[in-house]
Structure 1
């Protein structure tokens, strides 16, 4: 029975031995491993790890970028019945120490010297850690290798053991066969939006069942290919790339580095693709900037055919009836504009693309779909292993996250909270029975903590975190994330944090997008030397004021949200950063932490001040601490009242 990932790996090696399983670009050259080669490598890796003392049930930290050795570590650990624990590669020392300590990690496999140094710095906090393996040897020659081993060396040791001792080979195969669907296959730690991360226990059988459902849903096969650039520790990578690949047999390509993802995307041309809204926004910003630099004729041609695509593209994509002239015009546009644009973006071969994590602006969503890209939205959670809802092909509802995916049962409580049961549902939180009991109902439904509702066709709309949906002092509804998402639909606004619970009115803090606003400043001959300087320019405040006014118009048109219009706002003097604790590693704002950290600014938003002084401690890339001080401007926003646009007093 193919109920573990190690068994699926060996089945692919038997059924499609010469099909590509994984690629990696290293030193400018793409390297490819077939399913047979990958299975042989992971079998040897498992033998080497067993020789080092890795046993069934032990936990193994995996810390690094998307590289074959990191994925092989996960598979080799699962082969032996050990439990991989991926950790965000950019986690600071305290975050890493918490996860490794909580998971009682004895083995850690890391990418390079940077991660080795982090482990050495926290070794006193993780006393059970006794073995460290590394993938890249650069800079590690003079380190103490009594507990430090090269992954390549352990794989070679495993090959030698398998070739020289039949008993070892039999034992390794027996460990694989001993595994079953009830085994814990991985521990994924949540982003920790409101506190310490929780370790989510996922079983092999449930994970595979969930992946089988969505592989069938999107008709994925061994002819598909993905580019794996999402964080290893995030459920999205483990599901979309790892689990679906081992179920369907498609090829996973690893980029050369984080900096080369866009270039590698063009080279690979994936057929299945996922990106959060901010990535699609950044790509469109890049396209817009390039078109501003183009000649007049090219700009006019681009604008004309993009206009044509916005009118007819989505209907053609969904198979709706459109006039012959529209099809002919769209075909010409595809030849001259759409196809070259998709090629530049690396989207030429995409059959299915998803976005999730945050709401995506309707204009942005429609832009990509109008080009013929089958972009859809999904809604999921780590506890669900991953999908709860998704848009089926041809049944897209902008502003919703789709219908319940196959074999997922969703309920909405009287309080408006979304509950679900799913095939991949988690077993529980590691060492936290109390939180598990709070999250799973007696009927077996998982509480998402999100507030939402169904439309008449069964599409789910998520409003906000249920605990964050509050009230203004007047009793009017206040949904901060809903407001923040509307603000972030504008390319110039990267992040937003709204305040208003139990207050007389709503205020917000903004982060500008340095790329988009910086490009605008350069074109308008507005000098600036830093983010801080640009953010406080009056011209930038004027731009953001216009965006806030548009959001207020939209809120005014919604009876439930009309009273939650933004009355005052400011632009923060620094970008919100996960290293400073202001965001999670999955880029979700920690609203409570921000309110406390920037209390002088929050107070000023409500006391009528026109500016406020703030000093903020920041963490630099090398781990050093510093302080940024600034005088932050605060301005009133235009609001809509009784059908007129007025400036709030």
Structure 2
């Protein structure tokens, strides 16, 4: 019996093109119409592009970069590079400046495949700028773009259109008809397939080398638990630079012949998802949190009757979900009631979210609050936690169907060993542990020992049922004055369950006061909708966050969150930050993980004022208005003290599914 992980992506593509030539491999929506690409057409375009890259001088062992949103050309370029023994480093389309320079310089990419004018402009600007003296040099010789709109008048000789690259490849293939087949056959499972950047929460992102064997072993082990078939559909809207998208769209997609669909635009993503009805999905917590916020806003805008119907249906679904996630089955009467509740209340919500056909879906990359988990299971979404890292192809631990404790991340997938060392750090070992950090052997040696154990840097423990519970990054696990060990992320997730809180950064006691403090960033959509309902006028995000009524709203949400926390780690004071956290400002990563060191440095004055127990703190900020004008302003931020606040008497807790009380 052959080992599936001993194959390569190009050979899998060739097999699919031979056995299922007319089946749809991927489809892209353009001008409102789905444009299909069959497996044979996919293979032909990869064949032409591979010859085109070879004509540009790309050789075995080199790295090319791809920069842009998800389009068929992204995967065509990836498979083409792999066909000739090269690898691909994916770059987030939002990357700019120093981060972009770092990835391109470290990978030494000579060819960059870019999506459109925006990405081309960034690259040309990077080439034109004088790099800092201590920066590594760039090696870019050619930029190949696949969306020519706006680039018709560009004459820079470094530029080349993707269709011209393919045409060059077709001509070369005529001259060397058997060359590429030999290159594909020469490919080895241990060759680098892709290079994914790490999250970079504490430093510049590292470039993790993942082989075909690494990725295909992960796909084999995942699908042994959650089978995938050729009939399954997958909507690809998260960046291919993220390991999560490479896991399902590429590794599982090529292993099992998934049809990949690309939405037309970010603005049409939800409607396109509803149209396709994906069978499986993987998204980071922020996507699930935003979906919940969307549901809360829509229900709050509904009339009294619809709210009551959904409230009843949600209650029934919650009761059934609580049984199913622990392996129990509802009785006949409850099962029948649940069918009715699903038909009239929860299924319409799933349909609005594009999840009507979903069989199973995953979250990973950061912790997801147990309350958010509970909501999705109550509306009939089989959401499960994945735990892993880029360095182990994204998946090492996973919930099983009907065994989904919301405070855990599941149990190891087949082929994965897990142990907790003396210091409480989670260690992992499997065939999916990466080859190493690109051109950084000393950094690789710090995280993978001689026996192949990967040090995750996360603190955790196994509960009585053998489920892994992640506390936080080992360096971020703290001890409260009363001896309680806690994770800032756990408190932050409790706060973020509120539909009105987009992000929260919690800090340990400091200064004269002993309680936890927090920087809180409001969700402009949900708070804006609440303000409109309350007839509260505002102009900018900064203006909205400064409203005393909004501070009272968040104070009640924080107080409710505190009720679910041990007394020693409750938040006592908070500030509503005057701006949203922005990856372009290095405050969060491209996958929306908070860079705590940056926050601590940039907002040090605010954090210090929180610790001292001040009533206000002054900050200087640039405010940009809707008409594009901006002004530098001195802002006075109010520090809210929860120790002197109490929820107004007679006000009950709001339902999970609503922002209203």
Normalising by the smaller structure, the TM-score range is: over 0.9
- Spell out the pairing of 1:200-599 with structure 2 (5 A cutoff): 200-315=208-323, 320-472=328-480, 477-500=485-508, 504-556=514-566, 562-599=567-604
Q: Distance in 2 between matches of 1:230 and 1:290?
A: 24
The 3 A distance-change label for structure 1 pair 357 and 629 is farther
Q: Which has the higher contact order (CA 8 A, sep 6+)?
A: 2
- 1:646 alignment counterpart: none
The 3 A distance-change label for structure 1 pair 52 and 42 is same
- 1:143 alignment counterpart: 154
Q: Distance in 1 between matches of 2:293 and 2:483?
A: 39
Within the candidate set 185, 191, 202, 2:193 is matched to 185
- 1:77 alignment counterpart: 81
The 3 A distance-change label for structure 1 pair 12 and 430 is same
Note the C-alpha offset of 1:625: 9.9
The 3 A distance-change label for structure 1 pair 177 and 627 is farther
Q: Distance in 1 between matches of 2:400 and 2:332?
A: 26
Within the candidate set 609, 632, 641, 1:636 is matched to 641
- Would the aligned equivalents of 1:552 and 1:638 in 2 still touch at CA under 8 Å? no
The 3 A distance-change label for structure 1 pair 479 and 580 is same
Q: Distance in 2 between matches of 1:619 and 1:161?
A: 52
Give the gaps of 5 or more residues in structure 1. 557-561, 641-649
Q: Which moved more, 1:363-372 or 1:607-616?
A: 363-372
- Would the aligned equivalents of 1:42 and 1:76 in 2 still touch at CA under 8 Å? yes
Q: Distance in 2 between matches of 1:513 and 1:541?
A: 13
Q: Distance in 2 between matches of 1:8 and 1:297?
A: 53
Aligned-partner SS, 2:564: helix
CA deviations 1:282-324 (Å, max 9, x no partner) are 2232223223333333222222222211122453587733222
Q: Which moved more, 1:151-160 or 1:262-271?
A: 151-160
- Would the aligned equivalents of 1:567 and 1:639 in 2 still touch at CA under 8 Å? no
- 2:620 alignment counterpart: 615
- Would the aligned equivalents of 1:62 and 1:70 in 2 still touch at CA under 8 Å? yes
The 3 A distance-change label for structure 1 pair 449 and 363 is same
Q: Distance in 2 between matches of 1:319 and 1:420?
A: 27
Within the candidate set 20, 25, 31, 1:27 is matched to 31
Aligned-partner SS, 1:84: strand
Note the C-alpha offset of 1:257: 1.6
- 2:44 alignment counterpart: 40
Q: Which moved more, 1:8-17 or 1:475-484?
A: 475-484
Note the C-alpha offset of 1:583: 0.7
The 3 A distance-change label for structure 1 pair 639 and 401 is farther
Note the C-alpha offset of 1:111: 0.3
- Would the aligned equivalents of 2:327 and 2:403 in 1 still touch at CA under 8 Å? no
CA deviations 1:310-351 (Å, max 9, x no partner) are 122453587733222212211112222233222221111111
- Would the aligned equivalents of 2:25 and 2:37 in 1 still touch at CA under 8 Å? yes
Q: Distance in 2 between matches of 1:269 and 1:341?
A: 13
Q: Distance in 2 between matches of 1:322 and 1:342?
A: 21
Note the C-alpha offset of 1:533: 1.0
Q: Distance in 2 between matches of 1:324 and 1:242?
A: 42
Q: Distance in 1 between matches of 2:622 and 2:155?
A: 35
Note the C-alpha offset of 1:359: 2.6
Normalised to the residue count of structure 2, the TM-score between the two structures is: 0.91
Q: Distance in 2 between matches of 1:359 and 1:161?
A: 49
The 3 A distance-change label for structure 1 pair 626 and 368 is same
- 1:91 alignment counterpart: 95
Q: Distance in 1 between matches of 2:39 and 2:327?
A: 36
Aligned-partner SS, 2:143: strand
Aligned-partner SS, 2:418: strand
- 1:643 alignment counterpart: none
Aligned-partner SS, 2:289: helix
Moved over 6 A (4+): 617-621, 623-626
The 3 A distance-change label for structure 1 pair 639 and 84 is farther
Note the C-alpha offset of 1:627: 4.9
Q: Which moved more, 1:341-350 or 1:400-409?
A: 341-350
Q: Does 1:133 align with 2:149?
A: no
The 3 A distance-change label for structure 1 pair 132 and 357 is same
Q: How many residues align?
A: 632
- Would the aligned equivalents of 1:472 and 1:478 in 2 still touch at CA under 8 Å? yes
Q: Distance in 1 between matches of 2:621 and 2:362?
A: 37
- 1:54 alignment counterpart: 58
Within the candidate set 160, 165, 172, 1:154 is matched to 165
Note the C-alpha offset of 1:58: 1.4
Q: Which moved more, 1:396-405 or 1:437-446?
A: 437-446
Q: Distance in 2 between matches of 1:53 and 1:418?
A: 43
Q: Distance in 1 between matches of 2:264 and 2:541?
A: 29
Aligned-partner SS, 1:60: strand
- Would the aligned equivalents of 2:509 and 2:517 in 1 still touch at CA under 8 Å? no
Aligned-partner SS, 1:386: coil
The 3 A distance-change label for structure 1 pair 316 and 450 is closer
Q: Distance in 2 between matches of 1:477 and 1:471?
A: 4
- Would the aligned equivalents of 1:580 and 1:619 in 2 still touch at CA under 8 Å? no
- Would the aligned equivalents of 1:465 and 1:481 in 2 still touch at CA under 8 Å? no
Note the C-alpha offset of 1:417: 0.8
Aligned-partner SS, 1:139: coil
Normalised to the residue count of structure 1, the TM-score between the two structures is: 0.93
- Would the aligned equivalents of 1:615 and 1:630 in 2 still touch at CA under 8 Å? yes
- Would the aligned equivalents of 1:359 and 1:399 in 2 still touch at CA under 8 Å? no
